[in-house]
Structure 1
Amino acid sequence: MPAMDYHRQFHRAAIERGIPEDEVSKFTEFLRFAIWTSGRPNGVPVGRSGGLPRLPVGMGWPSSEYGPLPFVASFDCVALPRVDGLALPADGSLLFFLHHEWADDTCSIADEQEFARVVHVPAGTNTATAEEPDHDEEMFCNMTLDFVGREYDLFATVNADLPSWFEDDDEDEGSRSDNQEHLARNLPHIKELRALAGELWPESNGAAVYLGGYSMGTGELSTDYMYTTPETRMAEDILEAREKAGELLISPDGRDLRLEEEALRVMREWVPLAQFVPDDVYLGRFMIRHDDLAAGRFDKALSFTAFTE
């Protein structure tokens, strides 16, 4: 599917509304576009959720040492919309596997990867529908879940996405701290800019799988403004490692600001490849660096499963 310059479309519409150029440019730095896919046939057909995947002939079902990994969804890369900042493959298919309960039970990001896989099947590969592998009868603590999920088509729409700290309408101007500038929360026309994004790309009622955009948070605040996300977790690990190595000294009063700044740096380096809700209380999230995505290094994608209750 041909690419569309959504940022230019937004920029032109905002300028036509009389919003100053500097504000529009600053806001647009944080504006992302995500591909929302769901079973509602109100977009472009792009893939399938559940069922049995088509794997390359001779390839075994992706598994951990504890058993096969449940299949989440597959996407036809040719059919997916093109959005800036999400360099998906031009062809072939993307398949996602995750055992969210096993992944969430691990103690580290590294250990979690045992229970998650992203598979890119290049165009022209000889594939066949995989047979359901042998597995324990009860694969999940949630007894309502089956190993092979309900199969249905996925349809895609493009939605504008903004970070969570753009959404606070009720904050008292006098309560604002000094760390507003780098989060772009002090734009005089921020409400108008947000409203314009929603007008141009009306938000639908959720999705089965989200590609791109911003990471889902768990509802827990990491700082006064940022919710806990894969990016804040990575930023915390980076800062902790640098402190232990003696490369960095952070005062207690400056910790939140330093974490926000590091998380913003991580956000520029990484992108959510796929996000979904495998269970009512879990979030499944695959993150990947922009350069790894562009190079097709899907083995470098990282899973960040979260329990939200």
Structure 2
Amino acid sequence: MDYHGQFRRTAIERGIPADEVERFAEFLRFAIWTGEHRDGPLVGRAGGLPRLPAGMEWPSSGHDPLPFIAEIDCAALPRVGGLPLPADGTLLFFLHHENAHDEFDETKEQRHARVVYLPAGTDTVTADEPADTDGMFCNTRISFIGRAHDLRATVHAELPGWLEDDEDLESYGESRPVRHLGLDLSHLNDLRALAAELWPDDGDPGFALGGYTSGIGEMATDFLYTIPETGMAEAALEARGAATTDVDLEQETVRVMREWVPLAQFVPDDVYIGRFLIRYDDLAAACFDRALSFTAFTE
């Protein structure tokens, strides 16, 4: 379904100027939220034992097996513009969130995270649980094999954090980010309200694909939460020897966000969030080995 087209048509029918609708729509993303209590189609399963190709070893860090998070049936997913997931096949996600976070190093973290893509028609068998998985987590409430449950999907509209809150936007005055990012729109509140009306927020995103990266509570600037994209933007500015004012960082972050998308986000533990990001080009080419893990605390 063309969700962006639906938004544009409805906004213009309500009298909002087409140029404002187009500028706003550039920042409107659609995410697939999944969970066991949703009303949408069955698209996968979380927990339990994964189905792997016969003879394939359970993904590991090189020392320890990686906990299985979820598998997604790509053919069953809603089609979302701007999120070029495969038309078929299966995506499997593995992450040891405690070990990944404790590395405090982006390169080393990848040893504890894995995305596996199985093309349609791959012969698979239910994997046996690896040996010696007791005590894999510091949090003893978490077992290596999580509770198995179905994942059903719904589609939701998302905006970047700095564009979501009317009250915050009003308090910024002349310096608010919508000005220097080209979104000083006279119908901004109407556009935001329409997106919320067409795709109401129904609570916890669960295991989510696409949309915007979740912030972790810490602010990178007055307007931007700390997300992987702000770190990439800082590194890019430093590499170019460019200025690093807050405005520069915000503008560079928006550029980076046009190149990267959250492949998956989920909460494996009350105080952690798992996040896999991938470049749009790599996603379109199904190069899932290039997805990067950015595990963080939720607070």
**TM superposition score category, shorter chain reference:** over 0.9
What amino acid maps onto 1:300 in structure 2?
R
| SS of corresponding position for 1:9 | helix
The aligned residue for residue 216 of structure 2 is 218
What amino acid maps onto 1:36 in structure 2?
W
Q: Structure 1 residues 149, 184: CA separation in 2 closer, same or farther (over 3 Å shift)?
A: farther
Structure 2: segments with no counterpart, 5+ residues? none
**CA positional deviation for 1:176:** 2.7
Map 1:1-309 to 2 at 5 A. 4-171=1-168, 172=170, 175-177=173-175, 179-240=177-238, 242=239, 247-250=240-243, 255-309=245-299
Deviation by residue 1:202-223 (Cα, 9 ceiling, x = unmatched)? 1112132000000000011111
Rounded Cα–Cα distance in structure 1 between residues aligned with 2:112 and 2:202 = 31
Which piece of structure 1 moves more, 138-147 or 173-182? Answer: 173-182
Rounded Cα–Cα distance in structure 1 between residues aligned with 2:225 and 2:251 = 14
Q: Is the 8 A contact 1:67 1:135 kept in 2?
A: no
Rounded Cα–Cα distance in structure 1 between residues aligned with 2:184 and 2:13 = 21
| SS of corresponding position for 2:175 | coil
Rounded Cα–Cα distance in structure 2 between residues aligned with 1:135 and 1:237 = 40
Deviation by residue 1:80-126 (Cα, 9 ceiling, x = unmatched)? 01101111111110000000000001132111100000000111111
Structure 1: segments with no counterpart, 5+ residues? none
**CA positional deviation for 1:146:** 0.5
What amino acid maps onto 1:201 in structure 2?
W
Rounded Cα–Cα distance in structure 2 between residues aligned with 1:11 and 1:249 = 36
| SS of corresponding position for 2:22 | helix
| SS of corresponding position for 2:111 | helix
Q: Structure 1 residues 190, 255: CA separation in 2 closer, same or farther (over 3 Å shift)?
A: same
| SS of corresponding position for 1:78 | helix
| SS of corresponding position for 2:167 | coil
Q: Is the 8 A contact 1:27 1:184 kept in 2?
A: no
What amino acid maps onto 1:255 in structure 2?
T
Q: Is the 8 A contact 2:74 2:88 kept in 1?
A: yes
Rounded Cα–Cα distance in structure 1 between residues aligned with 2:164 and 2:295 = 24
Q: Is the 8 A contact 2:275 2:293 kept in 1?
A: yes
| SS of corresponding position for 1:236 | helix
Identity %: 61
Q: Is the 8 A contact 2:23 2:183 kept in 1?
A: no
**CA positional deviation for 1:158:** 0.5
Q: Structure 1 residues 255, 127: CA separation in 2 closer, same or farther (over 3 Å shift)?
A: same
| SS of corresponding position for 2:48 | coil
**CA positional deviation for 1:180:** 3.2
After superposition, the CA RMSD in angstroms is 1.5
What amino acid maps onto 2:255 in structure 1?
R
What amino acid maps onto 1:188 in structure 2?
S
Q: Structure 1 residues 169, 146: CA separation in 2 closer, same or farther (over 3 Å shift)?
A: same
**CA positional deviation for 1:185:** 4.5
How many residues align? The count is 298
Which piece of structure 1 moves more, 117-126 or 177-186? Answer: 177-186
Rounded Cα–Cα distance in structure 2 between residues aligned with 1:136 and 1:49 = 18
| SS of corresponding position for 2:88 | coil
